[in-house]
A and B are shown apart, each in its own frame.
Chain A
Amino acid sequence: MRLVPVMRRCSCGLVIVGAALSSTRGFAQTPPAPPPLGTTNAAPAPARDDLEARVARLEKAAASKSDGPLPVTVSGYVHMDWIVFRQTSQDEVTQDGQPLNENRFVLRRARLRAERDHGLFHGAFEIDANTIDGPQLRPINAEASFKWPADRPYARTPWAYDPSSTRGSVDGPVQMPRSLSSTGEPWFMVTAGLFRTPFGFEVPESERARPWLERSTMSNAMFPQSFDLGVRVLGGYRFLRYAFGIVNGAPIGERTFPGRDPNESKDLVFRVGGATAITEAIRVEGGVSGVSGRGFHRGQPATKDLIQWQDSNADGVIDNTTELQVIPGSPATPSESFKRFAVGADLRATITLPMLGDLHLRAEVVRGSNIDRGLFVSDPVVATRDLRQLGYYIGASQEITRWALVGVRYDRYDPDADAREQEPFTLVPRDTSMSTWSFSAAGRTRIARLIAQYDHRQNALGRDASGRPTTLADDSFTLRAEVHF
């Protein structure tokens, strides 16, 4: 809701109402006697002064309101999921008491965002509520930006268009120009705060814009929940797009120190690419990205000696000679940091098909080392070797008129390309990769979407009767209701 036009309209309206009131009052009174010839048709001097003072007062009040702290742009959306079935779901709890049932209603995210774009400056604050691990309310995006030139709008990443055809921004309702080659990006914009990590295409992509329910496994593992704290510079000139950032390296979805930074080293992240319209109907965007920094291995505090009892003969009585075992204490071990990095490339094309709508094609590949922070957290100190990751996805979505959209995506992620497993006589390579086919279909209106998605997952988390790794069945079917405003 843009408040400035409203205020202006209000002030104009007040002036008109004031004039109308004065006019009405003139009609309501007994018509005065016709003035004598040679005199002007004007109100008496005291009444006119009163009206002029009143109008001036109203105009001043309206002007003072428009110069106040408002206006801000308020937007938001709600993602309400019904996981109709998930094969790994069990009516059980984990060892630490967390439920294993996944067949449930869950508020995946409810976001409320306020922002102001004012000349050289832009500020935004967004909160997120969800019930994924119980009710949670947290800040998810808070940033202050300086941009130049001042008349260019705030640069949103990624720069391409919302495939769900919201035809606007991906984070707010600010409209963006249609042509990719003249997006009106600021030449540069410096941002400090909690923002989307500028890596690749999918990591900074808005959740309300994605044709599929969630990011690919690769992005969730390497950049869990994508928001990180730091400083970022981004911008564009003609077809060129760039972004550089210095961040903590602990995104808010990280599993060890989310939103914090356990070491003094900061991560450097960048993306350089381009976006252009080849023809009126074909638009292409691509880029390369990288991140480099240092991860953290948590040291252990000192432990005391322990006595452990194992009731070997099951008589319920401690046998001092055979059933007591001393576990010696250990001194504290220091924390360590380790090097990690990732490089990636992304490519995206949008082809407008007559009658149907836009066909969006996307692909991205990332190669990393010790960069898994959300799924199988990389700790090369424990593993005594670097853990190499490789992930990619390809996806296509097709608009079916303005009312529907279908999409299919295949993603694959290997958290440890060098994994080995000891079999009785040999040490054999182990494929730890996991892949997902995602089929989605969405019906949509201007402010709402209803999405159905089936995910078919392959992994190496189960074991067959021979003891070898095999897929643990984990397919799921989910319905999502989305409303944005």
Chain B
Amino acid sequence: MRAGTLVVLLALFVAGVLLGACGRTRADEGRDAKLHVEGGHFFREPMPADESGPKVLSATVAARTRAGSVEQACAGDLERAATSVAVALAGDVGYWIVPAGIPLASAPSAPTFEVVFGVTADIAPGRHDLVLRAVDSAGHFGPAVVRPLDVAAPERPHGRLVISLRWHNEADLDLHVVLPSGIELFKRNRTEYERPPPSAGPVPPDAPTDGGVLDRDSNAMCVPDGQRAENAVWSEAPPSGRYVVRVDTFSLCGAPSADWRVEAFLDGARIGEARGTSTEVDTRFDHNRGAGVLALELDVP
């Protein structure tokens, strides 16, 4: 009987503990959300419909951003009762909570907020709505303030065949493209044209001297240039055959890794895509001709 009583008491205690576990927040990095907020806590749920909470008095945000950008700023102030601000892109998988800060001397009764955010690289270009709502200490959300956010499409050069490499941070990655002829386009051989050796005799005046061109060596030697992209472009008909695309990691420039994306477009239509992540291991190899990891193989008619 005593043992039975003990078991019941223990079961009640465990049940109480488990019930106490309800209502706690869950760990969630929110990496699949379109909006990322530095230092914010992510909630994977829609914002509540109730709008009985405090208001956002003002909010300033740069109206234009670029897919994959980080460190965009949004700041403003809130009604006195607010203790935090909820931020989300309309239609996203959740929202972020950032605690309110101390008021400015010019408005001593209005808590302020400052949100540093970024948008993912795969966000659809175009207009998005940034939703901000103040929240009070009881968790009541106030009415939404919506700020337009124009996300610019990554610019892609025009050409018959375009092979692009893009990445998301200040790492120094290099695009290598091996043509059907065996010529390799990369930062030390920017054009398809190779001058014939002197022993080959005089060059015919009508011989082609153009072809595929690599447009830049982005973030070369870890000097950031803001592009984080390299493109191999054929403005005229590209040679037919198999193209091999590789990504060489010259340096991560202090970053732990670099996520990259390779795309190939023929006459504007995407004919290939690959994604990958460069790590420290990828930097340890030779960075000359033939370097890099295989990203894509294309057959161009």
- Could you list which residues of chain A lie within 8 angstroms of chain B, going by C-beta atoms? 87-90, 92, 95-97, 100, 309-318, 422-425, 437, 439, 454, 456, 462-468, 470-475
Docked CA distance A437–B136 (Å): 32
Chain A residues contacting B226 (CB-CB under 8 Å) are 309, 311, 316-318
| Surface stretch bound by A, among B58-66, B173-181, B190-198 | B58-66
Q: Are A465 and B86 in contact (CB under 8 A)?
A: yes
Q: Is B122 in the interface zone, CB < 8 Å from A?
A: no
Q: Are A97 and B137 in contact (CB under 8 A)?
A: no
Q: B58 to nearest A CB, angstroms?
A: 15
Chain B residues contacting A313 (CB-CB under 8 Å) are 62, 64
Q: Are B101 and A424 in contact (CB under 8 A)?
A: yes
Contact of B83 among A310, A466, A475 (CB under 8 A): A466
A-B residue pairs in contact (CB < 8 Å), sample of 20: A100-B29, A309-B226, A314-B64, A314-B69, A316-B66, A316-B226, A317-B226, A423-B99, A423-B100, A424-B83, A424-B102, A424-B103, A425-B103, A425-B111, A456-B21, A462-B25, A467-B135, A470-B24, A472-B26, A474-B27
Q: A427 to nearest B CB, angstroms?
A: 9
- Give the number of chain B interface residues (Cβ < 8 Å): 50
Q: B230 to nearest A CB, angstroms?
A: 13
Q: Is B91 in the interface zone, CB < 8 Å from A?
A: no
Docked CA distance A130–B98 (Å): 39
Q: Are B27 and A88 in contact (CB under 8 A)?
A: yes
Q: Are B111 and A97 in contact (CB under 8 A)?
A: no
Q: Are A463 and B97 in contact (CB under 8 A)?
A: yes
Q: Are B62 and A468 in contact (CB under 8 A)?
A: no
Docked CA distance A368–B141 (Å): 41
Q: Are B26 and A473 in contact (CB under 8 A)?
A: yes
Contact of A473 among B27, B83, B224 (CB under 8 A): B27
Q: Is B28 in the interface zone, CB < 8 Å from A?
A: yes
Q: Is B71 in the interface zone, CB < 8 Å from A?
A: yes
CB closest residue in chain A, given B31: A92
Chain B residues contacting A464 (CB-CB under 8 Å) are 25, 97, 139
Q: Are B82 and A424 in contact (CB under 8 A)?
A: yes
Docked CA distance A314–B155 (Å): 11
Q: Are B65 and A314 in contact (CB under 8 A)?
A: yes
Q: Are B62 and A312 in contact (CB under 8 A)?
A: yes
Q: Is B227 in the interface zone, CB < 8 Å from A?
A: yes
| Known contacts A96-B256, A424-B103, A466-B139, A314 near B25 by CB under 8 Å | no
CB closest residue in chain A, given B223: A307
| Known contacts A97-B257, A424-B100, A425-B103, A90 near B29 by CB under 8 Å | yes
Q: B182 to nearest A CB, angstroms?
A: 33
Q: Are B24 and A467 in contact (CB under 8 A)?
A: no
- Which 5 interchain pairs have the tightest Cβ spacing? A467-B84, A424-B111, A467-B99, A462-B25, A314-B66
Q: A134 to nearest B CB, angstroms?
A: 15
Contact of B29 among A92, A465, A466 (CB under 8 A): A92
Chain A residues contacting B111 (CB-CB under 8 Å) are 424-425
Q: Are B27 and A472 in contact (CB under 8 A)?
A: yes
| Known contacts A424-B111, A473-B24, A314 near B41 by CB under 8 Å | no
Q: Are B17 and A465 in contact (CB under 8 A)?
A: no
| Known contacts A424-B111, A465-B43, A467-B84, A311 near B21 by CB under 8 Å | no
